[in-house]
Amino acid sequence: MNRTITLLVALVASASAMAVTNEAVKTVNGKVVVELPPEPKSFSTNELEMKKDPWRPGVLTASHVIQTGPTSFVECPRSWVDSTCRPYLKGRDQRRRAFIIKTGGQWVGCPRQNSLHQCRPLSKGSFMEMQD
């Protein structure tokens, strides 16, 4: 019995150590405040193409999922929040996605929300996986 409890405690501690903490989400004076990823200083894109609806039927634009509140997320065609973002609903459709989080003081793109495995700094481009 004692050995089972020790093993269970070790498993819980191991799982907790693997949990991903988004440093962009903080509690300040009892209120949750979420820092958003910065827009790049410059980027090249076809502005006419970006004005089109990236979520129109038949277009599976890769997307970035960004936390905007204690439990709210948006899905954006770029790695920052702008007017082209939409609320993120898991299971809405299948497309390549990266989760944008802040860890170790830098913004990174991760293929999964709960793992730092294969995360890359946004300056090097996000690693994405097909997800629903």
Q: Which two tokens stand for residue 131?
A: 């997800």
What is the pTM for the complete model shown? 0.77
Q: What is the pLDDT of residues 1-18, one digit of tens each?
A: 444 443 333 333 333 345
Q: What is the pLDDT of residues 117-132, one digit of tens each?
A: 999 998 887 778 787 7
Q: Which two tokens stand for residue 125?
A: 């481009």
E runs forming strands in the chain: 25-28, 31-34, 63-67, 73-76, 86-87, 95-103, 106-110, 120-121, 129-131
Long-range contacts of 25-29 (CB under 8 A, 24+ apart): 25/67, 25/70
